[in-house]
Amino acid sequence: MMCTFMCATSGLYGLLLYLVTCPATHVASLALPKNPLHTQVKVLFDSTNHWHRSIQYHPEQSERITACVTALQDYNAKALPNESGLHLDLIDYACEQPAAGTKNSEGTTHIPLSDDELAYARSILVKSHSEDYVSGFETRCRTSRKKRIDDGKSPLGFIGYVDDDTFLTTETYDVCLRATAAWIRGVDLVRTDPLATAMALTRPPGHHATKTLSNGFCIFNFAAAAAIHAVDLGLKVSILDWDVHYGQGVSNILQHVPQTRYVSMHQAPAFPYQGEKNEISGACGNILTIPLPPDSSWTNGYQAFFEKQVLPFVYSSGDDELDAPLWEPDIVIVCAGYDALLSDELASCSLTAADYGKMTQLLRDKIGHGRSPGGLAKPPSLLFGLEGGYQLKKDTQGGNLADAVVETVKALGFRSLV
């Protein structure tokens, strides 16, 4: 991808929200909103994610997270919960306490990941990849960091590129381990409450990382790890990937896991030059690829495929108009990449920021998210995790990454017609 870039609503909240993973001392800061009709959105981010960075310009940069958190802070400061239907909590999961007054520190809560959460995340990464794969990055990063310290240098240093697109620093392993733990925390946050949603604003992306290969900016596959964690809890999982690039890593890891489904709608041809047929594949018939031509927009391709193929594959009660087979997941994970924006330079599709809000609303309508179960089976939980999306310039046609993230979050409020 870098080479391409360089060349070209009622019900009560569940009372157990987050008690599974959150230390007791933090429960007070995660108190439920007073109005049980509102969607509670927990946005998780790492104020130390900039420790993974290139020494030259790279579109996959820490400013992506800063821009998104800043935009959500601004929205949260202006939006009235009784009008938006949202209670938005911005949670910094960095292991170090951010200094007062630093960027993105205002209006956020610091709830660091525990040692137990990090150790557990590593164990799930080993299941997603392998011990050799995980320990290889762990050893390379930490050995390099120790050598710098022994040499009297700053612990943070650039190691180099592992391929044309993907770089390492001495802190990359730990940044990615924390990101994995954040996606897992997100699963645990939402699985007990049908009105709660979580969004993991993490970097680098993860959906290209296969079981044995880092590529396309990605080191570890966070979505696959979150899915495996959910499966270990006895849950069925659907993953919806709307990043403009096919997440071949997710399909590679989960194609043999029958408790999961993965659907990707993406531009083709484009990196990684796979998934170029509209077909169901995988050993368990649980992978659906939907390629779209360049210049596809919401009204020219996206909407039709999203409504007619994506949504029935993500969730089907068995009596849908499209006669889709029964598939009712316990959780839906969205690989939320925002590089299909018209303004994004790493692809050629033409979505607007508002279109991501439309997809979010249609997804909620399909799975019944935000509605009281009314004595029936609980609707699937919903977790969003950031993948791609690189346009940071303001006032761009169709909006930028931060605009699209805000539109996604806004669509999680009171239900409305698209």
* Residues identified as active-site: 208
Residue with tokens 């604003």: 201
Pair 337, 205: CB distance under 8 Å: yes
Integer CA distances (angstroms), 89 to 96, 102, 104, in order: 19, 18, 13
Amino acid at residue number 49: N
Spell out the residues 6+ positions from residue 144 whose beta carbon is closer than 8 angstroms to its own: 157, 159, 170
Joined tokens for residue 400: 């930028």
Distance CA 10, CA 374 (A): 9
Q: Within 13 Å, how many C-alpha atoms sit on residue 135's CB side?
A: 4
Measured in whole angstroms, the distance separating CA 166 from the mean position of its chain's CA atoms is 19
Joined tokens for residue 196: 């709660």
Distance CA 377, CA 349 (A): 38
Closest alpha carbon to 401 in 334, 358, 339, 333 = 339
Cis peptide preceding 272, ω within 30 of 0: yes
Task: State residue 125 phi and psi, 5-degree precision.
Answer: -60, -35
Buried b (16+ CB within 10 A) or exposed e, 207-237: bbbbeebbbbbbbbbbbbbbbbbbbeeebbb
